[in-house]
Structure 1
């Protein structure tokens, strides 16, 4: 299937989704709705075990398309509809049952930064600076995402000033897994994707579900929840195959059952 704002390639259980809305991959309503559709489909695709989200051009995403924002009419329900689509756009990535690796090829600004933070793993190019300039255009979205990843002082300084920071800061703070030269970005993301795709897809998806669900739980309840997942996994063919492979000192062959 072809898309207006994205290209999609699936190979060896890895789906690569590439944002392609020149010149700076700014986000508008149709672009967001298309990504929601793509991720809903990939989440249910048995042949896909891990997803890489990257972008064409020199910018990962410059954030919300302000030209579209200016055209929203107050009192006509357009703000409510826009806000719902924006929420669903980020949730489609964050809640996708498959792990999502952001291969950030360039600047990630505002909603573009939030999109990267919605992924499970961030691998960034050395040119992938980040900023939250919402206050510069009279807006104030995204503080919840920033609070989740940064300490109080950095989060508020970043937001109130709209300053741009280098990707090395994401690595230093443990928010990005790796920062590499641009020509090695996809290779690095693929290295992680292949390693994940080689695991039991049932176990990996259960682990992602655990990460999502235990965030708001007390540790005691969270661990009990994880134990129920483990009990369910222990009854699968993949678990039995993993244990046999371990004993026999050979690579496991997972079938997703």
Structure 2
């Protein structure tokens, strides 16, 4: 039984709810271990088309639980090694953009620090009107450590990302929508419902098409247009050999719904 999360399997996707109410859903090593295990299971199950990550009405996630972080003076280099090789929270952050299936963050309440970074590392965010986003680390003499200095500037541009990181200002749902931090803003309590609606639609598409386009977007974003076009062309060519491609074209000609198999 999971200690830090609640898992619900639906017809076509899985929902992970971070459940540490006494910590406002701050994550620790155990949380990361449990979510990584679910991600592995979802990747391996061809019937599952994606993943929704959510929290409670009060907090999506308020960052990394600092009570586990103890800096002993004579263990600095051991901490460096663990950070690189064995720390599960770090592995979780890195795993999100490499996950081959869609991951939607359904955010109610606070998404702060590492919680905001988790949401940014998902494919996109569905927020409720109660959502608030922010990176308050500078107020603690720290800095974002879950890719916030990399994801936020790519989304907003350097000047605005710097302002938000340096001031720790919280962004409410309406502004998050305006800034394209969130794809959708819905009434309080409805974020998961909207994420389900979107994931159902995605699940009706060719799963290999979704996988390859996700890879092309992630890989192509930080290269030249010419290189990005090559990335896309390779993926397009690979898909031409799939059985799903043949099924999709046949279904179109026969005016029926396709029966994609993911092969």
- What range is the shorter-chain TM-score in? over 0.9
- Structure 1 SS opposite 2:72: coil
Q: Does 1:12 align with 2:32?
A: no
Counterpart for residue 27 of structure 2: 27
- Structure 1 SS opposite 2:142: coil
From 223, 227, 230, the equivalent of 2:229 is 223
Task: Write the distance in 2 (CA, Å) between the matches of 1:93 and 1:49.
Answer: 15
State the shift of 1:212 in Å. 1.7
Which shifted more, 75-84 or 113-122?
75-84
Task: Write the distance in 2 (CA, Å) between the matches of 1:204 and 1:38.
Answer: 20
Q: Does 1:103 align with 2:106?
A: yes
Task: Write the distance in 1 (CA, Å) between the matches of 2:73 and 2:154.
Answer: 30
Superposed CA deviations along residues 157-181 of structure 1, whole A, max 9, x for unmatched, are: 1111111111212211222110111
Residues 75 and 197 of structure 1: is their aligned pair in 2 closer, same or farther, counting only changes over 3 Å? Answer: farther
Task: Write the distance in 1 (CA, Å) between the matches of 2:139 and 2:197.
Answer: 38
Superposed CA deviations along residues 203-238 of structure 1, whole A, max 9, x for unmatched, are: 111111111211222111211221121122122121
Task: Write the distance in 1 (CA, Å) between the matches of 2:41 and 2:218.
Answer: 20
Superposed CA deviations along residues 116-161 of structure 1, whole A, max 9, x for unmatched, are: 0000011001111111100111111232222222222221111111
Task: Write the distance in 1 (CA, Å) between the matches of 2:203 and 2:38.
Answer: 19
Counterpart for residue 91 of structure 2: 88
Uncovered stretches (5+) of structure 1, i.e. residues with no partner: none
- Kept in 1, the 8 Å contact 2:108–2:189? The answer is no
Counterpart for residue 259 of structure 2: 253
Counterpart for residue 72 of structure 1: 71
- Structure 1 SS opposite 2:222: coil
State the shift of 1:192 in Å. 0.4
State the shift of 1:72 in Å. 3.2
Task: Write the distance in 2 (CA, Å) between the matches of 1:185 and 1:72.
Answer: 38
Q: Does 1:203 align with 2:203?
A: no
State the shift of 1:101 in Å. 0.7
- Kept in 1, the 8 Å contact 2:56–2:109? The answer is no
Superposed CA deviations along residues 42-101 of structure 1, whole A, max 9, x for unmatched, are: 2222221111111134100111212223x3324322354246533311122221111101
Which shifted more, 77-86 or 195-204?
77-86
The 5-angstrom pairing of residues 102-251 of structure 1 reads 102-141=105-144, 142-251=148-257
Uncovered stretches (5+) of structure 2, i.e. residues with no partner: none
Which shifted more, 187-196 or 40-49?
40-49
Q: Structure 1 stretches (4+) deviating beyond 3 angstroms?
A: none
- Kept in 1, the 8 Å contact 2:126–2:194? The answer is yes
- Kept in 2, the 8 Å contact 1:40–1:96? The answer is no
- Structure 1 SS opposite 2:189: helix
TM-score (norm 2): 0.91
